[in-house]
Amino acid sequence: MHIYLPIAEVSVNAFLLLGLGGMVGILSGMFGVGGGFLMTPLLFFIGIPPAVAVATEANQIVASSFSGVLAHFRRKTVDLKMGTVLLTGGLIGAALGVVVFNYLKSLGQVDLLVTLCYVVFLGIIGSLMFIESLRALRKAKKGGAAPAKRRQRGWVHSMPFKMRFRTSGLYISVIPPAVVGLSVGVLSAIMGVGGGFIMVPAMIYLLGMPTKVVVGTSLFQIIFVTAFTTMLHATTNYTVDIVLAVLLLVGGVVGAQIGTVIGSRMPAEQLRVLLAALVLVVCGKLALDLLLEPSELYSLGNSGGH
């Protein structure tokens, strides 16, 4: 069944959208990532104009994260205080990101920037996570009860403005989480993603938060940052397609629920290997697109606005 999207002005198969939403939703629930880093490129592939894909994806992430975060609230795995600090940084970052995005758009280099961002960030984070979690898996297999090495207490812990985050069991400066939030905000505005795939590792490795609360807390921050991004796009570029968003999220929310259940039943280390592998696959695909000669060297852009 085809459906005509009023803002995107293209006609697509409704079941394809539902399926995409469901698939990405499962991953979103499992890993606590918004899924935008998968969904946004997928929407490009099925012919949604990039500007609409990015804006609508932000709207869809709000919904899929909302059902996810509710599930985490019930299990009390959301650090609200930490979430608020991350969020404050995130909102400032998103506003900055939109400025950068619009500047590069005027230069016609947005696609390149977005792809390069993906390749660099997904590449670094994917490899780090993959190596780290493989090592942890091997250790767990060998030693059985090998004591997990305590997070390093380096510069993160010697900064001023310390605050106690009870849920995470941390007493650290607010500067690192605010900076993490800010960088994720910038990237989420530029790349059209929630930013969970960057925030989750940053929270684990940089802030030393327990894996248990990381997913819920990142979803909490993502909701507000993507809602803010949605409003920015809706009021400046008019590119939020609610029909597209609803179709994606109907699949997405159901998928996210299934994903949360799967995620809570799987050991955290295996979950991390899977996420790392997924991140590397997406990275490899995007890198190939940059390196191989494209079959069509020319591309059309609308010069009237976006």
Partner 1 sequence: MLRYVFAALCLFSLPAAADEEQVVLGLSQDRVAITADFDGSEILIFGAIKRETPIPPGPPVAVIVAVAGPSEPVTVRRKERKLGIWVNTDSVLVDLAPSFYAVATSEPLDQILTDTEDLRHRISIERAIRSVGAAMHIRGAQDFADAVIRIRESEQLYSIRENTVAVDEQTLFRTSIDMPADLTEGDYSARIFLTRGGEVVSQYETTIDVRKVGLERFLYNMSRQQPVWYGLMSLVIAIAAGWGASTAFRLLREN
Site stretch for partner 1 (CB under 8 A), options 76-84, 106-114, 139-147, 159-167: 106-114
Indicate the SS3 state at residue 188: helix
Site stretch for partner 1 (CB under 8 A), options 4-12, 147-155, 170-178, 184-192: 4-12
Q: Does 108 bind partner 1 (CB under 8 A)?
A: yes
**222 within 8 A of 86, measured Cβ to Cβ:** no
Q: Does 296 bind partner 1 (CB under 8 A)?
A: yes
Site stretch for partner 1 (CB under 8 A), options 33-41, 91-99, 174-182, 245-253: 245-253
Amino acid at 152: Q
**Shortest spacing between CB 59 and partner 1, in angstroms:** 5
- Of residues 142, 154, 265, 303, which one binds partner 1 by CB under 8 A? 303
**244 within 8 A of 56, measured Cβ to Cβ:** yes
- Of residues 104, 243, 262, 274, which one binds partner 1 by CB under 8 A? 243
Nearest residue to 168 via CA among 111, 109, 85 = 85
**Shortest spacing between CB 220 and partner 1, in angstroms:** 14
Rg of the chain over Cα atoms, rounded to whole angstroms, equals 19
Task: Enter the tokens of residue 37.
Answer: 């880093």
CA distances (Å), 7 to each of 103, 203, 236, 296, 304, in order? Answer: 23, 36, 14, 26, 15
Q: How far apart are CA 6 and CA 2, in angstroms?
A: 13
Q: Does 227 bind partner 1 (CB under 8 A)?
A: yes
Site stretch for partner 1 (CB under 8 A), options 121-129, 159-167, 211-219, 228-236: 228-236
- Of residues 148, 242, 266, 281, which one binds partner 1 by CB under 8 A? 242
Taking phi over 0 as left and psi of -120 to 50 as alpha, with beta for the rest, 264 belongs to alpha
Amino acid at 164: R
Report DSSP letters for 82-113, one per residue: HHHHHHHHHHHHHHHHHHHHHHHHHHT-HHHH
Q: How far apart are CA 102 and CA 73, in angstroms?
A: 36
Give the residues across from 12 on adjacent strands: 3
Site stretch for partner 1 (CB under 8 A), options 109-117, 126-134, 177-185, 194-202: 109-117
Q: Does 9 bind partner 1 (CB under 8 A)?
A: yes
User: What are the φ and ψ backbone dihedral angles of 219, each rounded to 5 degrees?
Assistant: -60, -40
- Site residues for partner 1, 17-76, by CB under 8 A, read 47, 59-60, 62-67, 70-71
- Site residues for partner 1, 264-293, by CB under 8 A, read 290-293
Which lies closer to partner 1 via its Cβ, residue 213 or residue 245?
A: 245
Which lies closer to partner 1 via its Cβ, residue 56 or residue 168?
A: 56
Residues that bind partner 1 (CB under 8 A): 1-4, 6-7, 9-11, 47, 59-60, 62-67, 70-71, 108-109, 111-112, 227, 230-231, 233-235, 238, 240, 242-243, 245-246, 249-250, 253-254, 256-257, 290-294, 296-304
